[in-house]
Amino acid sequence: MKLALICTEKLTVPPIRGGAIQILIDGVSEHLKKRHQLTIFSISDPELADAETRDGIEYVRFPRGNYVFEVARELARRSAKEQRFDLIHVFNRPANTLIYKSAMPDSRMVVSLHNEMFHEQKISTEMGKLAVRAVDRIMTVSDYIGGTIVSRFPMAKSKVQTVYSGVRLEDYRPVWTEAAQAVRRRMRERYGLGEEKVVLFVGRLSEVKGPHVLLQAMEHVAVKHRDAVLVIVGSKWFSDEGMNDYTRHLRALAERLGEDRVRFTGFVPPKQLPDHYAMGDIFVCASQWNEPLARVHYEAMAAGLPIITTRRGGNAEVIRHEINGLVIDDYANPLAFAAAIDRLLSHPAEARRMARTGREMAESRFGFEHVALRLEHLYRAAMRRRK
């Protein structure tokens, strides 16, 4: 098939600035290109050419300000030259599918939902119905997101399909391997760590991600586990290292714990994330909102870490309580996190069992090669659908 993947206007592809959608596109593209002709549209970036072919993939980039218009104009230009795509995959912008469909009407259309983009605050009822009719399939990153679409637009039910995301498995060496141990020593030295027990957080520093709850939990953990350290990987918005009221609040909470108890790494580019996971002993996702399904779960599983997460949104669809991690219901309570962290630190054999189960799940289901196959299945279903 001749495929077009249209990224959002937030960040570029390859994901040099980060972004879950951008990482997903980059990860599956190396597998899709083996069997399909692939073009990826994304916003321009000063470090990347506006048009290039790299490793057999065509990249087309336009400025953020008029991105949707420029993509549509390019689709129309190619359509006029009978260079149409068999299928166009629009990422996380259901309303834009109508624009792109008008530009290249003979192509099949898939939209993927990585957030609640069919929520009434995001799209009107009329526009939502038009978008559902315009597409041949709706991919969602979790059953939770699929449910939010169907609850508002029941007509979408037959088109909705969950495609779980994943990671590039070869980038993540489980912490028990010799290779990971070498990285672990290097990274711990970089951040002034020795043999401490590292509780790891990876994500944007925003209230909905819950790092403040985790910092409060560590006050209780420290009473029993004096060698426990919290490492917070991330910045307020991907590569934006600026401070705001919330990030200053996090620093104040960290000061209460003491300077030896918390490390802030700042923004870490996606390619460097696997090395940072190697530092950890426990991974915690402290989501306070209905998370679509945070990709950090796949990363932590691949890295061989036991996981603590919240039963918010789609998180618990891949983290099974007491199987590959612990799932917290009382998600706003620091004591609930403290108890879960204490359990894993106090019972290392149980923690290792969960970690190894998580890695096995990643190897069998959540490599990007698996994600690409699931996507191809969805694409074939979209191609078969009769108008």
Query: What is the rounded distance in angstroms from the CA atom of residue 122 to the CA atom of residue 110?
Result: 19
Burial bucket for residue 387 (CB in 10 Å: 0-12, 13-18, 19+): exposed
Q: In the prediction, which pLDDT does 386 show?
A: 52
Look at residue 347 and give its three-state secondary structure: coil
Q: Are 306 and 283 in contact (CB under 8 A)?
A: yes
Contacts 24+ apart (CB under 8 A), 69-73: 71/6, 71/41, 71/100, 72/99, 72/100, 72/102, 72/103, 73/103
Label residue 37 by pLDDT band (50, 70, 90).
Answer: very high
Q: What is the pLDDT of residues 128-179, one digit of tens each?
A: 999 999 999 999 999 999 999 999 999 999 999 999 999 999 999 999 999 9
Topology (CATH level 3) of domain 169-365: Rossmann fold (3.40.50)
Query: What is the rounded distance in angstroms from the CA atom of residue 113 to the CA atom of residue 138?
Result: 7
Per the listing, tokens 């010799």 go with: 178
Q: Are 200 and 274 in contact (CB under 8 A)?
A: no
User: Which CATH code, of 3.40.50.2000, 3.40.50.720, 3.20.20.150, 3.20.20.140, is assigned to 2-166+367-384?
Assistant: 3.40.50.2000
In sequence order, the β-bridge partners of residue 198 are: 229
The letter for the amino acid at 356 is R
Query: Which DSSP string corresponds to 240-296?
Result: B----HHHHHHHHHHHHH-TTTEEEEE---GGGHHHHHTT-SEEE----S--S--TH
Sign for the pseudo-dihedral over CA of 314, 315, 320, 324: positive
Q: In what order do the strands lie in the sheet with 197-202?
A: 262-266, 228-233, 197-202, 282-284, 307-310, 325-328
Query: What is the rounded distance in angstroms from the CA atom of residue 285 to the CA atom of residue 294?
Result: 8
Q: What is the pLDDT of residues 257-316, one digit of tens each?
A: 987 999 999 999 999 999 999 999 999 999 999 999 999 999 999 999 999 999 999 999
The answer to whether the pTM exceeds 0.75 is: yes
Query: What is the rounded distance in angstroms from the CA atom of residue 94 to the CA atom of residue 167?
Result: 25
Nearest CA to 345 among 242, 208, 220?
220
Mode of pairing for the β-strands spanning 282-284 and 307-310: parallel
Query: What is the rounded distance in angstroms from the CA atom of residue 117 to the CA atom of residue 145?
Result: 9
Q: In the prediction, which pLDDT does 236 show?
A: 86
Q: What is the pLDDT of residues 4-36, one digit of tens each?
A: 999 999 999 999 998 999 999 999 999 999 999
Q: What is the pLDDT of residues 369-382, one digit of tens each?
A: 999 999 999 999 99
Mode of pairing for the β-strands spanning 325-328 and 108-113: unpaired
173: left (phi over 0), alpha (psi -120 to 50) or beta: beta
Q: In the prediction, which pLDDT does 387 show?
A: 45
Domain ranges for the chain, please list them. Answer: 2-166+367-384, 169-365
Q: In the prediction, which pLDDT does 97 show?
A: 97
Label residue 241 by pLDDT band (50, 70, 90).
Answer: confident
Label residue 385 by pLDDT band (50, 70, 90).
Answer: low
Percent of the chain with pLDDT over 70: 98
Q: Are 188 and 279 in contact (CB under 8 A)?
A: yes
Q: What is the pLDDT of residues 91-128, one digit of tens each?
A: 999 999 999 999 999 999 999 999 999 999 999 999 99
Q: Are 314 and 143 in contact (CB under 8 A)?
A: yes
